[in-house]
Structures are given as structure tokens and as C-alpha cells.
Structure 1
Amino acid sequence: MIPGLVVVLILPFLLTGSDGPAGAGPDPAAVAGQVRTVPGWRLRSGTEAGDDGAALSSPSYDDGAWTAVPARSTVLGGLVAAGRYPDLNYSANLRDKVDPKDFTVPWWYRTTVTAAPAPGRHTFVDLPGGVIPKAEVWFNGTMIAGTDVVAGAYPAHRFDVSGLLRPGANALAVKVFPSSLCLDPDTQPCPDLSIGFLDWNQPPPDNNMGVWRDVRFVETGAVSLRDPRVVTRLALPGLESAELTVRAELANNTDRTVAARATGKIGTLSFAKDVTLAPHETTTVTFEPIHLDRPRVWWPAQMGDQPMYRLAMAVSADGTPSDGASTDFGVRDVQSRLNGGGDRYYLVNGKPFLVRGAGWVPDLFLRSDARRLQDEFSYIRDLGLNTIRLEGKGENDEFYQLADRLGIMLLPGWECCTKWQAYAKWTPADHAVARASAVTEGHRLRNHPSILGFYVGSDTAPTPEVEKEYLDGLAASDWQAPVISSIGWRTSPLLGASGNKGLGPYWWVPPSYWYGKQKGGAFGFEAEHGPGPAIPELGSLEKILSPQELADLWQHGDKPQFHLSWSENFDRLAEYSTALERRYGKPTGLADFVEKSQLANYEVNRAQFEAYGAEQSATDRPSTGTIYWLLNNAWPSLFWHLYDHSMAPSGGYFGARTALRPLHVQYRYDNAAVALVNTGLRDAGPLSVQTTVFDLDGTQRYDHTTNPVTAKGNAASTLDTVPVPDGISTTYFVRLLLRDAQGNVVDRNVYWLSTQPDEVNTEADEWRLSPQTAYADLSGLRRLAKGTVSATASSEARGDDVTTHVTLTNPGDQVAFFLRATVIAGDTEVAPAIWSDDYVTLWPGESMTLTAKYRRAQLNNTEPAVRLNGVNVDTRQLAAPLG
């Protein structure tokens, strides 16, 4: 056998037992030896540390003057954590307070580990992900890998350092080289397959150079076990059984032939196989078929539950326990096809799956924050999103585990532009990095039931050569999920038609835009588009903008804002500011601008998701998916998010959340019809819909309740048309109430509309936006009579969590429009917080109770209070004491 040769063995094996719960089986730690994650690094610039890797990686070297940084730290991220800079979120500090020249030289990372080498044991330095953009790795005075090996953001590496290991202190040093990320491959050199943020925000001055994933020391016996994985084949359509194939790599770390025994467990199912390994041979061991009766099937959140199984594996060498590993997996089936219109659609467990998602952005400095990650996933679930797209910014394991647990589907893939799509400029080394990236990410992702598909290209499809490299790399991990060439409409040689529209828009369009067959309209599949500007509430703005920037925000829409983009396509509000003024009236000040922005963001975000929900059952090119661009921001921004960087939900959040309710009644902007959308798999009913049209002064001009109707599962239906009564005010309201058979309101939706419609010039469509040529007149909202609201608030604590209740009642004779309740601690908004609803509207006699859930620590030892305001309701503050 050739040393290092990878072969695949499919041999008879023992199988006993039956299905059992996740977590059952042997503890792999009992045989795995030791896995130690580097808890943190010492960091120093090469201009100060020098280039002598042998000296710097000597255990006796004194790094006391170096900077302590977290385990996952780009250079700039580590320096920020160490307090090197002022608040880089504020104003232009990111540009003015950081010198990019500091990152044009190599930087060193250093750590030490104490070891007690034992006979027959092997110690490895494990880099589960790449180092950006390339590095030398030194251990105990010896370079164990150079930049010809450690290159690219994603490829994983494992280095056997057993021969260099010493009793007591051992030192690891990583020399990271400067990163360069071209933003225009046609005019700039493109040296690195790295991670960048494109035009999403201002770029990090260090271009994310550094060690951005965990580095581990792994100890095993003579044989290592790696990459355990499960291929699942679920019986459709009944889901009554599943066939599993289990695989893992066995590596002989010795110079001798070894008799290995691989064992595994899934619940109470046990299996084993004997394998003979030649010196330094790596073999794929396979167990199949493993049969499951009545499997616990994993579903997206809106469709069902998310049960998980655990595979635990171990290997012995010549009868001695050697290594082990475990992984969780889910049993589910995901398929993707093209419909008769050539549009891509997805099936989960045989059921049509309408993708209603958003684009994910990691932290600008690729920092890892477990608490924030959990909070963001709480928002994803609360919003009702079912899918998150990751464009070229692979996350750490915790991200995918949360998605599995919460039932959020994921669409990862490589990033747009930069060198990732400058295929003509790739060197042989780049091709090797690209394939290795696919192998690494394939192994990282393939066991997660949340994976819906993978984009091997973003805005453009790969060349045939690159496409094959990606497919070969994914195949090495036994990849099962669909693979798509790009988000564009082009056809690729191996994967065929993408079935994606890839047309935008990315900037302001009015709510009515989303209906119809123009560009980003609600038909087919669109993997990135949205209405662009997303202005946070005033409290968030004051944390990030200087007084001059705040003044420019509402007075000079054509002036570039640093907290937009570096790109001239997205560096000023322009069309958005014009639309805001033409539709709602000229802002009278900053607070008025912010309030009008919440109205605009609410209505346009709601319309995008509602349109795609309503059109899923269309007979002519139905909608199959929309990815809102974007979910969140890497850094505080004035555009492309559903919640701002401070985690404060604003108008756009609640507009989207309203549209994504699981059982939802909505108004169609194209034909003034009422639609009923059910995202669950089961029919719901009997239900009734009450439609009421109000004049601006509160006069009821139309009221109608349907006969009992059924909301078909996983479908949409169209009900009555909403009339525009003669003589109604130019700005008017429509209220929709969905009730169950007992008369309980299960959904409520309020629209502010105009007899003068918005219009766009679809013939002048371009990738960024569709020019608006006429504007709805919503200025009547400025003339609303003063509304009256009575309000009470109280809070209760349960363990570490607090729930605040806010009961609102309209005792007056005028509408109380767009009421916002905010929990505050002192004078600061408590965020994140999960609200049952917000930005609500009450007519005379109506009452509503809102709840907010948050962590007690966010109160900073103060009593909670509630701030209440509305478009025509005076701002007030309520005590909300803990009971």
C-alpha cells in the first residue's frame, strides 16, 4: 500500500439493536484521548516581533509584552478586544482611528501548551478552518507548514507534531501574512481567496487577516478517526422508514501495519467492522445499510419538530482504544428542481417549501459571541423566517447547531466578486485552495439537517473546471443537499440552469413593486433582493452618528454617509429620501425623519414577504423563494437589515414579522384583494376575515365579514376585493381581522393606503433599483387628529428572564396610529427583546396587550419602564415594576 493513499472499504459488519434517542451511545471522549482548544493567543506585529520563527516558537521565549487576544481573532478583532482603539462603531472612527499600514506586515500569534508525551500516543495541531489569507506554522522551534500548505480562508489542516513534543511546556506560533481583497478584479490585483464584505459596509482595515477559527491540540492512539458522517435516505412520501450509511476516515499514524476495529452507535443500534491498515494509510470505513423504522423526521420550524440523532464512533488499534468522535444528524429529505417556468423550487420531506429568508452577515472582525448568536437566532425564529443565506462567509459550528435546533434552513456558498469569481486570474494554487475549501466546508456542513443547498457560485457561475473542483470537493464529504451554480439565471455545464432570477433590486422600491412579473416581483426564486435603506430608531442612530451626520441624514439625502457603503452605488440615501418626502411629506426634523422612515420600512418590508407568500399558489410562474437582502449587519449600518446592529427591532422588523406570521391575512397592492396564507402543512379553519375601510378622520366607510373559509395548508388563497369608496380621503386605512370559529382574533393587519398609487418605470429597470415615477400621497397622516391611549405596564421575573406586559386601550374617538412601546432601563432601550407585536394601531374602543421578553441582566439593576409613542399620540413613560 502506498503511504498516505486514501481508499474506500465497504465490508461486512456487525449490526445489533434498534433506534434510540440522540445522545445515546459510547462516550467518544473515553477513547479519544485529549482535545484541547487553544483558549487564547498572544499577538504581536512582525515589525516588533521579527521574523525568527524558530526563536518565537521556542517554549522558552518570553511573550509577556505581547497582546492577549481571544482564541478566534483576526488581527484587528484581537486588538479591538484588547482595547487598542476607541469605539470603532461611532462615526468615521473605523477610517480615522485605525492605520491600515499596520496590517501591511505579518503578525504573529503565539500560545503554549503543557504536555506529557506517552508511548504509542500521537499529538496533532489541528486547524479546522483556514487562516486568512496564509500562514507559516511553527512548533517548538520548527516550521511544520508554510504558505504553500496553509493558504485560503477555509481549508482544514492537521499536523502530527508527536516527534517535536516535549514534556512540560510546548510552544505554537503562527505567522499570518497580510491579506488583500480586491473589490474590482478587472482593475486590481487579486491575490487571495479570502473573506470580504463587498459593498455591504465599510471594509475592515486589516482585511480580516488572522486566525479566525479554533485551533486545537488533538491526542490519539495509533489510529485516528475523523469526519464521521451519515448519509440518510428517507422513504417518501410516507416517511415510514429511512436507510442510513455511516462513514468515517481511519488514519494509521504509525510505520507498521495495524489491525483496527471501528465501532459505532446510533441510539441503541450498534455496529462494528475490522479493518487492516497499512503504514500511514488513510481509509474510509463504511457501514450500510442501517435501517430505521418510523424515524423521527426533522422539519423546518413552521412545518414540524426538529429531532436529532447522535452517531458516536470509536476505533481501537491492535485491541487498544485509540480514538473516537461523535456527530449529531437529522433524518430529512431535501430536493430541488426546476418547474415549468424554469424557476428553482425546493421540497423538504416531499413537501413544497416556499423559501422566505434573509442574508446573514458575520461580525466585521469575525468575532465570536455565543450570547449574541443565540439572540440573533431568537430574532430569526421570532420573525418567522425559514431560511438564512450565507454568501461566502462560512460560520463556526455553533451557528449550524443552532440552525438545526431551531429549524432554520441554510443556503451557504461562496462569495460574489473578489477573487472568488475572478476565475481567469486563478493560479494552480488557487484551484487547489478552492477544492480544499469545498472539502472542508462539505465535512463541516454535511451532517446538518438545516442545510437546504449550496451555491458554488454567487453572482456568476464557475467555469467548468472550477465547477468540477467544487463538486469533487463536496463529493468527498458524501454531500447530499442540492448544489446550485449561482444566484444568477445562467446555465452551467455540469449543474445546468440555476433557476434563480438574480436581478435585484437592492435599493428603494415602493410596496406595490413586489407584485407583478417585473424583475424582483413575486414570481420564481430570488436569492438576494430588498428595498435597501433601513433607518434605525433614534436611540440607535445617536450611538453611531455624529451631530453633523445626523443633520445630513434628514436634510441632505444626496450626501455620502460613512455608515452606508464605500460604493457609490449605496453610499447615499438619494432615491429613498426623495420617496420619503414625496410620499409622507418633507421631514420637519430628525425625529420626524426617523418616524417616517419606520412607516416606510414597515410597509415595504411587509409587502416583499407578503407578495411572495400570496403568489406561492399562482398558476403562472408561482413564487418559490425570496431572500431579503440582508438580515443583519457586520457593523452599524443605515441599510440592508431587518434589525440594526444594536439589536433594537424597529419598523422594518415588525413589518416583516407581520408578513411572516404562520396564519396570515393580507392586502394585495396589485389588485386590492385580500389573501389568506398558511405556512403550516395542515389546513386551518373554519376562519372568517373582517375587512374594514376607514377614512382619515376615523369614519368607517366599508365593513365586510366573509363566510367561513379554510386556509389550505402550505398554500395561499385569494378572497374578496377591497373597494375604494367614493369620496374617501386621499390617505385612508384598511384593517384586516382574521378570526377562528370562536371569534378570537388570530391575525390582525393594518394598512395605510392612498388613492394615488405608487408607480415605477419597469422598462428602466437596472440591477440596483427600478426608478419610481409617481408617489402615493400618504401626507394625510401628518394631519391626523390627536389620539388618546390609556396604558398600563407591569413586569415579572422568572429566573434570569423578565416579561413586561403593556396593555393599550383607545378610549377616545380618533385612531391611535402606529404605537410603539419600548422597554427602557434608565434612558436606554432594552435590546434585544422579543415583542409579541409593536408599531400597532388602535381604533376607538380597541384594546391590545403587548409583551416583551428579555434578560434580567439587561436592566442593569434598575426597575424596567416603558416608553410609549405614536404618530398622533404624545410620548410618555410608564413604570413597569417587577412584581
Structure 2
Amino acid sequence: MPSRPTIPRTPPPHRLTRRLITMLFATITLVASIGLVHVPRASAATVGSTELTSGWALRSANQVADPGPTISQVGYNTAGWNPISLPSTVLAGLVANNVYQNIYVGTNLQSVPDLTSQNWWFRGQFTASATTADQAYWLRFQGISYRAQIWLNGTQLDANAVGTMAAHEYNVTNLIRPGALNALAILVTPPAHDCKDLSFCTVDWNPEAPDMNAGLWGKTLLDTTGPIALRDPYVKTVLPLPATNAADLTVYVDAVNATNAPVTATVNATITKAGYPSVSVSQPVTLAANERREVTFDPAGYPQLHLTSPALWWPYQYGSPELYQLATSATLAGATSDTKSINFGVRQFTDYRTTVNGTSFVGYQVNGKNIFFRGGGYMWDLLQRWDTKTNAAHVQYVKDMGLNTIRLEGTLGNDELYDLADKAGVMIMPGFVCCSAWENDNTWTAEQEQVANASLESQMRALRAHASPFMWAYGSDQPPTAAHLTAYKNTATRLHWQNPTVDNVATWSNANAGMKMDGPYKWEPPLLWWDSPAQSGSAFGTTGEEGTEAPPPLESLQKFIPAANLWPIGATWNYHAGKPRSVFDNIQVYTDGVDKRYGTTTSAEDYSRKSELQNYENTRSFFEAWNSHEYTQSFGVIFWMLNNAWPSVHWNLYDYYLKPGGGYFGSKKANEPLHIAYDYKTRNVYTVNSTLTARSGLTATATVYKIPDLSQAYTTSVPVTATANAATQVLTLPALTGLSATYFIRLQLKDPAGAVLSNNLYWYSSQPDALGNKKNWYMTAVKTYANLTGLNSLPANPNLATSVTRSVASGQETATIKLTNNSPTNIAFFLRPEITAGNGGNEVLPVNYTDNYVSLWPGESTTITATYQSSDLGGQAPYLRTRGYNIPTTSTPVP
């Protein structure tokens, strides 16, 4: 059955004068007095929502002979079933019961059989609240994959609830047992493998989940209301751009009549924010039996919805992400029938187009200011497990890396992530997925068309109320067909979607897409990002995604690759690269880069220390190239990927275990608010100011040092004014001769007092990287590799001094780390301080450092702080472990 039937609309309230509204109330009273409208008694219904998480069990339908009407009876015997908590996919439930163990280690996932060839029963019991007069009960399923038959207390609610991303809702007032136990039975049919259904799809990012994420992945809710229920409140905000000193708000909320008779109610909406005037509006609504209707409050009919001097929601680094609160209620005869509340932001995203290298690319503005989006592609856990702590870590890591965007390519439905992004000022870039049934829409069945439209409706309703989404992509690699695109856009219009949209994000399939997806997806030297326009993946235009392999640090590799398979690189490593039998099922291209640039690796430890260097320089250069051309030739970038769905050696800025490594800290360096960057192609030096505040009186210094003796080969300084929200070329290094094979370039940006604002060290070669002519959609061949082996000849430096102190407040610890290079002649290169759980233990995770992978010249010192939760120490004492490319590893207790 359709989750949200289309309901005829009534004329908007602003067409009524106050006198007419008064007359309408009088008419309603008269109609009610003669019995044509149901007027409930003035006794308050129980209003609330309960998530049904416990009391559930899971079993294969092949092992259950009883039918749904029997299984959905209270007291049904579930002996032999697997107890689970919701939300849960089939495989997550089986793993929780140790049916399959350590499936992320080695190649153990291969031992899990195909779980999609059978149906699965989910059964649960719950106690419903006691009834009151005119009380209604609703069952709501925010995510079932892929199709389900649903029974409650022996009665079938739905014979075909289909669509992974489509929400399903049922009025169960006449079936519920108030104040007593109730039973739900849900027979789930999994999605088909190879992304043949309109389900979640991980394409070639990792092996497919053996169950294709079948199950109740979203929340299962029991709502209680009076005769009128409210759904999907939303505030659309419009600013008088370019001015931002006012805002027009339009409030929308759906009202649903739970009864079989007409009902009249008053719908109320109140907008509040501490320190700002409150706004309250209301209007009467008469709904026909079982009618669902959108109720609208706009400034034309309710002038109080025109705000002056509003508090604006700004993305990270642009300002504060201020949020307002909307509280809606429906009242009948003086009693509350339902309430719904949301947080929302007063902000307006707009888009514009600029032609670069003959192609039209999209750029975005927020509140009239250019916004350069930069972020990564987010992935849920392979079994779609998540929790508040993990969600919060993702959002915090994004901010810590200086990013401002999370892309969701079909990974939709994690409402808590949206909430956290709203509060953090992190933008969300949602849309449908590529390379699957979602893009094979020219062969859709009638049911698939219904599922696609219901999925868009459900997901847009969930997203539109949030401040963080800034756009929507109807397609990824391919645009939908014209007919389906029209249907999608009609849905967006009907839902008052207030943000820009794109048809898809790949100009290779749609010249007017506005974004490119031209790769690369395998490792390339830093040069490629700067080589514009010769390389299609270089930093010009707007890109929906591109990225490289990224093996995590050794400590993480040891968690999922058994010791016997850790070296040499072989089948187990490759199994954790990309989807088997895809072009990404190995990391040979990346390994060639490590071996041929840094020297042939001899062990897993040696490989890891060198790959950390390569990850750092690559992601730093990636973001620097895009940032340094912002608003002139580049307008937004997504690194593929932000994180991994399971332990992987391909595509991430931080690994599955949330351990920050070279890619993380390279990104953090590149995206610092005020930054100085080096162009590998032209030798230009840029400053990038990612804030809305200009900085003047600065000095940029560039110095070239030979290796290993650190003798200066060149130095220069120039005055700099860092324009707000812009990149500026400040100098060009000359072509130098007589350099060592490997050398350092040190860039520094200082304020008028001489304090260092940005400190950036490059290692490069007089034999630079050179790209070949052979290329395809996922890589460009490398003709010549830079010689970076000189780093291996840096003299050992045992003269690094470390000290650390700690403060603890409300369960959070802050360790203040001081590193001093006491050597009179030698650099302390690529230092990695870590807070570990115990002496020799693993790094405490998640963790945030103010800086890391730092290098110190003779006599220099730096102070770094690390923040983490005491509980993540696991009862161990904290230690400071310090490593470096040319210093010994030490471990010091943190007092």
C-alpha cells in the first residue's frame, strides 16, 4: 500500500481575512452542533512515540512452518530463533548471535553463505500504552529491505511493503491491544545481488554483504496520538539576497485524520530560539475521514513569519550553525491530539554556473556567500550498524580535517547523522546511487517506478527539514530518463524542496550535469591534481568524486589481516581492496608508487611507514590543488571516500577503526583555515583563506633544503594579504639546479608579529613524477616516478625530547604534548605522537589532535593537544607513544 497517498489541497490560509477566519470557526461550531463533524471529548490522548528495539527474534523462513497469522500471535514460541535488537539486518543479527564470527578478518566473509536466497522472519512483542478516549495507534517503519509481509496480532497489515528507502506507515488503532502485549511478524524478502533491486548498493567499494542488507535497517516506531496526527513538519526559509537582515519563513506540516469521520482541529506552530522573539501561528483544519492534508503557514497570511535580523545557519569555518526550534501541535476541543518538533536553520543555498575548459560547472552560495564544498563520500558499516558515538566521530573527524561536506551516494536514512551535521555546520550532499538498478531505469517495471518515487518522497521528507543538506542529486553517473526525472522534480516541487538539485554528477554522460566524475580512482602522484586541464581529474570544475587507494596504518592492518597473510601483499590484502573481480580488487598501482618512489618495501612495517608518507602527500596535494583554484576554476570537490564500510585498503581519509593516518593529517593540513600551498606543476605558491575574514600584513616564506645535510638551496619572502574566502598566488619558485635527488620545500605563512599561521613541509625530487599518455576512466599511467629515497638517508635522530600533561573534565581528557628537537644538525622528520591505551597498547580511538605528522628543524619545538574520552582507554592508563621516520619509538606515561 502507498506510504503517503496524494491528498487534495485546500486553499492556503492567507486568502482568508481575519473576519472570514472568525466566520469559519463559527461555521465549524454550528456544523459540529448538528453532528456532521466529530468533536472528541476534551480528554487528552496519550501522545508519544516509542521505538520498538527489544523483544525481537530472527529466523530463516526455511526453518519456520507456521504462517504469519500464527507467528504474529502473542506468546508464539520462538525457541531456536536468534534474539536481536532493532534496527538490524539479517547478517547483523546472525553475527550478534555468533552464527558467523570475525567476518571482517582475513577472507572470513567468504565463508558466509548467500543469505538472499531465502526469506527471513523478524518477530517481536511489545506492550502498547493504555488507551484513552479517541486515541489512535500507528506503526511506522522507517526502513525495510527489500520487501515485506507484515502481520500484527494475527492480521495482515501489508502483503507487499516494498522499497528499501521507502517509509511505511499504518493506522493500527483497531488492531492494537491497549495496555497489553502485542505481536508483530514481518517476513522479509532480501534484495537481489548485483544491485538489481532499488536497494542499498555498494557497487565496487567492497564485497557485497551476503544478505544485501536485508532486514529492518531503519527504526520501527509505535506512535500514539489523538484523532489527528501530525507528520513531517518543515520550515522553508527565504532571504532577501544579497541582504541577510530578514527572512521569510513558511511552515508546513501534514495533518492526518485517524478516524472514519470528519474531524476539526486547530493546528498550531511555534518558532523559538533563546534570545530571539518567539513566533506563534495557528489555523483551524477540518479533515475528511482518513484524510491526510498539508497545512501551510506563510508570511502572506501570517506576517509574524517575516523575521528581522534572524540568526543565520552557517557552514563550518563560515560562522556559527545557529538553529531554531519549531514545535507543532494539533488540538481538539482543548485537548492535545499530537505534537511534532524539529530544529531548523535559517539559511538559503543557491547555485550558479561557470564555464571552465568548455564545460558548464555548478557552484554554490550560502546566504549570498560563495561556498567551496569539500568533503568525502560516507559509508555505513557493511552490516548497516551504527550508533551515536560512531556518528558523532564521523562528523567531528570531518570538521577536524577542515572539510565541510559529507556526500551520501545512496547511503541515505541515517537521521541522527543529519542531526549531528546540523549542529556542527557540516553540509550534506545527498542523492541516489550509481551503477545499479537505480540507473537502469529505462527497463523499470511499474513496481520499480512506484518504489523509486516513494523512495524519493520518503528521503526528501526526512532531509528537507534539516539545515545541513545543500543540494540533491537525482542521479550519479547517469541521469534518470526524462520521464523519471520529471516525476522526481514534480515530487521535489510538491515537497517544497528549498535547495538546488542536479540531474546527475557526471558530465561524461550529461554535458549539463554541472559536476564531473572523470576519476582517477587509483593512486596518482600529487602532480596530477595540479595538471589542469591536461588531466581530466585535475582540479578544475566541480567533481562529485575522485580518489585513490589508501592502506591504513600498520596497527589497523594487523586487526583485519592475519599475521600469516600480512606480508607479502597477496590475496587477503586484495580481498580488502575492492569488489572481487572488479578493477579495484588489488592495490598494485599504489604499491608501485611506494616502491618506486620511496624504495622497495621489505616488510609490512616498512610498507606502512612509507605508505603513510604517500597518503599524506597525496591527500594534502589533492585538497590544496582544488582549494587553490576556488571560485576561478574550481567550485567543489568530494574525495572518494571519507571512510570505509569495512576494513579496507582502498579509498578512505581515515580507516574503518577511526584511526587517523597519513591521509587524514594530509587533509587536515591542506584544509586549515589559513593555509600556504605548493603547486607541483607550476611551482607556484598560494595562500588560501577559508574564512570570511581577510588577513593583511602577512609574510609568506619559501625555503628549499638539500637532503641529508639540510643546507639551504634557496629562500625568499614576500608580503601577503589573504583575501577572505579566496585563494591568492603569492610567489613562484624558480627552476633550481644542483639540488639533491630528494629535497625539502618548506613554506611558512606568518602574521605581523612573526607567529607562524601555516607551516607546510614538502619532500620532492630533482627527478620529478611525470605522467604518461595511457589513461582510462580510473587512472592515468605514470611515466616517471619521483626519487624520494633520499628520505631513507636522513641521519637517525635520538635527540627528540617529549613531555606531556593531562586534564580531565566530564569524561573527556586533553593531553598536551610538547615535542622538542634537541639535535643541533638533524631534522626530526614526520613525527607521529599517539595517545595509547596502556604501554605499547593501541591508539585510543576516536581521537582528535591539533596537528600530527609534524617535522621539526634543529632546535625547534611544537605543542600538540589530543582529546579523547576516558572510557575509550578501556581501563588502561594513557601513554604517549612517539614515532618518526628517523627517530626511535618511545613510550611515556601520561601523568
The TM-score range, normalised by the shorter chain, is: over 0.9
- Of 334, 340, 344, 1:329 maps to 344
Cα distance in 2 for partners of 1:453, 1:749 equals 34
Cα distance in 2 for partners of 1:773, 1:804 equals 45
Cα distance in 1 for partners of 2:377, 2:11 equals 40
Cα distance in 2 for partners of 1:825, 1:374 equals 21
Distance change >3 Å, CA 5–CA 353, structure 1 → 2: closer
Cα distance in 1 for partners of 2:420, 2:220 equals 21
Structure 1 counterpart of 2:26: none
Residues 211-238 of structure 1 deviation map (CA, whole Å, 9 limit, x = unaligned): 0111111111111211111111112112
- Of 782, 798, 821, 1:772 maps to 782
Structure 2 counterpart of 1:858: 872
Residues 296-329 of structure 1 deviation map (CA, whole Å, 9 limit, x = unaligned): 0111011111111111111123544211211111
Structure 2 gaps, min length 5: 19-42, 273-277, 300-304
**Which aligned pairs between 1:747-762 and structure 2 lie closer than 5 A?**
747-761=758-772
Cα distance in 1 for partners of 2:541, 2:577 equals 33
CA contact (8 A) 1:264 1:311 kept: yes
**Which aligned pairs between 1:210-221 and structure 2 lie closer than 5 A?**
210-221=215-226
C-alpha displacement of 1:854: 0.7
Does residue 585 of the first structure (1) align with residue 591 of the second (2)? Answer: no
- Of 197, 205, 209, 2:202 maps to 197
- Of 129, 147, 151, 1:134 maps to 147
Distance change >3 Å, CA 165–CA 863, structure 1 → 2: closer
Cα distance in 2 for partners of 1:328, 1:445 equals 12
2:565 partner amino acid:
E
1:124 partner amino acid:
W
Distance change >3 Å, CA 4–CA 587, structure 1 → 2: closer
> 3-state DSSP class of the match of 1:379?
helix
Structure 2 counterpart of 1:116: 130
Cα distance in 1 for partners of 2:661, 2:289 equals 61
Does residue 652 of the first structure (1) align with residue 663 of the second (2)? Answer: yes
Structure 1 counterpart of 2:267: 262
Does residue 297 of the first structure (1) align with residue 312 of the second (2)? Answer: yes
C-alpha displacement of 1:563: 4.7
Distance change >3 Å, CA 497–CA 617, structure 1 → 2: closer
> 3-state DSSP class of the match of 1:164?
coil
C-alpha displacement of 1:557: 9.4
Cα distance in 2 for partners of 1:78, 1:362 equals 16
C-alpha displacement of 1:371: 0.8
> 3-state DSSP class of the match of 2:355?
coil
CA contact (8 A) 2:145 2:162 kept: yes
Residues 538-591 of structure 1 deviation map (CA, whole Å, 9 limit, x = unaligned): 1111110023431132xx599843454324311111111112111111112221
What is the TM-score of this pair, normalised by structure 2?
Answer: 0.92
1:501 partner amino acid:
K
Residues 421-476 of structure 1 deviation map (CA, whole Å, 9 limit, x = unaligned): 11122100110111111111111000111111111101100001111222222233
C-alpha displacement of 1:771: 0.7
C-alpha displacement of 1:879: 2.1
Cα distance in 2 for partners of 1:704, 1:565 equals 48
> 3-state DSSP class of the match of 1:654?
helix
1:131 partner amino acid:
I
Does residue 442 of the first structure (1) align with residue 442 of the second (2)? Answer: no
Does residue 281 of the first structure (1) align with residue 291 of the second (2)? Answer: yes
Q: Once structures 1 and 2 are overlaid, which stretch shifts more, 317-326 or 863-872?
A: 317-326
> 3-state DSSP class of the match of 2:208?
coil
Distance change >3 Å, CA 99–CA 450, structure 1 → 2: same
1:231 partner amino acid:
K
> 3-state DSSP class of the match of 1:457?
coil
Q: Once structures 1 and 2 are overlaid, which stretch shifts more, 345-354 or 715-724?
A: 715-724
- Of 489, 511, 534, 2:550 maps to 534
Distance change >3 Å, CA 612–CA 155, structure 1 → 2: same
Coordinate RMSD, CA, aligned:
2.0
Distance change >3 Å, CA 30–CA 347, structure 1 → 2: farther
Structure 1 counterpart of 2:211: 206
Cα distance in 2 for partners of 1:776, 1:833 equals 33
Cα distance in 2 for partners of 1:418, 1:539 equals 35
2:726 partner amino acid:
A
C-alpha displacement of 1:64: 4.8
Q: Once structures 1 and 2 are overlaid, which stretch shifts more, 864-873 or 444-453?
A: 864-873
- Of 526, 542, 551, 2:567 maps to 551
Cα distance in 1 for partners of 2:309, 2:641 equals 39
Cα distance in 1 for partners of 2:576, 2:100 equals 18
Does residue 271 of the first structure (1) align with residue 281 of the second (2)? Answer: yes
C-alpha displacement of 1:596: 0.8
Distance change >3 Å, CA 142–CA 263, structure 1 → 2: same
Cα distance in 1 for partners of 2:709, 2:578 equals 39
- Of 719, 733, 745, 2:744 maps to 733
Structure 2 counterpart of 1:248: 253
Does residue 235 of the first structure (1) align with residue 249 of the second (2)? Answer: no
C-alpha displacement of 1:62: 2.6
C-alpha displacement of 1:687: 0.9
Distance change >3 Å, CA 197–CA 4, structure 1 → 2: closer
Cα distance in 2 for partners of 1:449, 1:363 equals 25
2:11 partner amino acid:
L
Q: Once structures 1 and 2 are overlaid, which stretch shifts more, 864-873 or 57-66?
A: 57-66
Residues 74-116 of structure 1 deviation map (CA, whole Å, 9 limit, x = unaligned): 01112222333221221111112x2225753333332322342
C-alpha displacement of 1:828: 1.7
Cα distance in 2 for partners of 1:309, 1:560 equals 48
Structure 1 counterpart of 2:323: 308
Structure 2 counterpart of 1:26: none
Distance change >3 Å, CA 716–CA 562, structure 1 → 2: closer
Cα distance in 2 for partners of 1:101, 1:651 equals 37
> 3-state DSSP class of the match of 1:527?
coil
Distance change >3 Å, CA 558–CA 276, structure 1 → 2: closer
**Percent identity of equivalent pairs:** 36
Structure 1 gaps, min length 5: 16-28, 184-189
1:264 partner amino acid:
A
Distance change >3 Å, CA 504–CA 237, structure 1 → 2: same
CA contact (8 A) 2:849 2:866 kept: yes
> 3-state DSSP class of the match of 2:550?
coil
- Of 375, 385, 388, 2:406 maps to 388
Residues 581-606 of structure 1 deviation map (CA, whole Å, 9 limit, x = unaligned): 11111112221111110011100100
- Of 382, 395, 417, 1:364 maps to 382
C-alpha displacement of 1:4: 7.9
Cα distance in 2 for partners of 1:467, 1:414 equals 12
Cα distance in 2 for partners of 1:72, 1:644 equals 24
What is the TM-score of this pair, normalised by structure 1?
Answer: 0.93
- Of 522, 537, 542, 1:507 maps to 522
Q: Once structures 1 and 2 are overlaid, which stretch shifts more, 845-854 or 291-300?
A: 845-854
Structure 2 counterpart of 1:55: 70
Structure 2 counterpart of 1:743: 754
Does residue 99 of the first structure (1) align with residue 113 of the second (2)? Answer: yes
- Of 92, 96, 112, 1:77 maps to 92
Structure 2 counterpart of 1:186: none
Structure 2 counterpart of 1:701: 712
Cα distance in 2 for partners of 1:431, 1:861 equals 53
Structure 2 counterpart of 1:187: none
> 3-state DSSP class of the match of 1:595?
helix
CA contact (8 A) 1:815 1:842 kept: yes
**Which aligned pairs between 1:474-493 and structure 2 lie closer than 5 A?**
474-489=492-507
CA contact (8 A) 1:557 1:573 kept: no
Residues 54-78 of structure 1 deviation map (CA, whole Å, 9 limit, x = unaligned): 0100113133543221221001112
CA contact (8 A) 1:315 1:322 kept: yes
Structure 2 counterpart of 1:170: 182
CA contact (8 A) 1:130 1:151 kept: no
C-alpha displacement of 1:181: 3.0
Structure 2 counterpart of 1:23: none
2:128 partner amino acid:
T
